[in-house]
């Protein structure tokens, strides 16, 4: 029941019971309607952490957030501590049979003022990085006793980084004591002195 209507009813009932012909009273107005900011459409990438804050303005007292229908993508959760703020967070998992999720939620205040809102999530999948390949086809010949710097460049595969190793043959004796630095896209650098 609306708080303003309830208080007016109580005061009118008190006036009738006392038989007073003239009484003054103050009626409290209803709290402003609830509005939710932060709701809408989100584009997610599976495996990438996500967090969205929703904020209810208007209403009065404790705010209760509930799921009306639908579902969040796997890996996301909806949480609220009874305040005007709720959070959707987590790391979305790759779905097996759908890429769009919608969830309808409601927020209600202590006086049963209520509003519903829709959250929609589209899961996008990153494009394939392509097959792993070594782009460098030739390197300069080293000269004994002189500094040597050459780069090997790879592309495709995982962008997390590359691990390089000698599969056949070997580097000239004593020439790889300075180590290896592997960078995605930039390739491998080996310096000899």
Residues 144/97, Cβ–Cβ less than 8 Å? no
pTM of the model: 0.53
Residues 76-91 pLDDT 10s: 999 999 899 999 999 9
Specify burial of residue 81 (Cβ count, 10 A radius: 0-12, 13-18, 19+): exposed
Stated as kind and residue range, the H or E segment containing 48 is none
Cα–Cα distances in angstroms (integers) from residue 97 to residues 42, 93, 143, 149, in the given order: 19, 12, 59, 50
Residues 78/72, Cβ–Cβ less than 8 Å? yes
Distance from C-alpha of 8 to C-alpha of 17, rounded to nearest angstrom: 14
Specify burial of residue 155 (Cβ count, 10 A radius: 0-12, 13-18, 19+): middle
Q: Is domain 31-123 in CATH 3.50.50.60, yes or no?
A: no
Cα distance between the two ends of the chain = 85
Model pLDDT, residue 190? 40
Q: Which residues of the chain have pLDDT under 70?
A: 1-29, 96-97, 126-129, 158-161, 172-193
Residue in 40, 39, 104, 36 with CA at minimum distance from that of residue 69: 104
- Cβ partners under 8 Å of residue 40, min gap 6: 119, 120
Distance from C-alpha of 88 to C-alpha of 104, rounded to nearest angstrom: 13
Residues 32-62 pLDDT 10s: 899 999 998 999 988 899 999 999 999 888 8
Residues 123/45, Cβ–Cβ less than 8 Å? yes
């Amino acid at each position: 029941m609306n708080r303003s209507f309830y208080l007016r009813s109580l005061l009118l009932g008190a006036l009738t019971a006392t038989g007073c012909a003239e009484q003054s009273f103050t009626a409290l107005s209803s709290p402003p309607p609830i509005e939710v900011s932060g709701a809408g459409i989100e584009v997610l990438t599976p495996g990438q952490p996500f967090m969205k804050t929703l904020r209810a303005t208007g209403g009065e007292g404790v705010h209760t957030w509930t799921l009306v229908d639908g579902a969040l993508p796997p890996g996301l959760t909806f949480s609220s501590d009874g305040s005007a703020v709720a959070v959707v967070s987590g790391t979305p998992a790759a779905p097996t049979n759908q890429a769009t999720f919608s969830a309808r939620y409601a927020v209600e205040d202590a006086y049963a003022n209520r509003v519903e809102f829709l959250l929609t999530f589209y899961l996008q999948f990153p494009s394939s990085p392509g097959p792993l390949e070594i782009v460098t086809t030739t390197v300069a010949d080293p000269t004994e006793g002189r500094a040597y710097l050459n780069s090997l460049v790879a592309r495709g595969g995982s962008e997390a980084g590359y691990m390089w190793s000698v599969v056949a043959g070997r580097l000239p004796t004593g020439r790889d004591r300075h180590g290896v630095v592997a960078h995605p896209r930039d390739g491998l650098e080996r310096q000899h002195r």
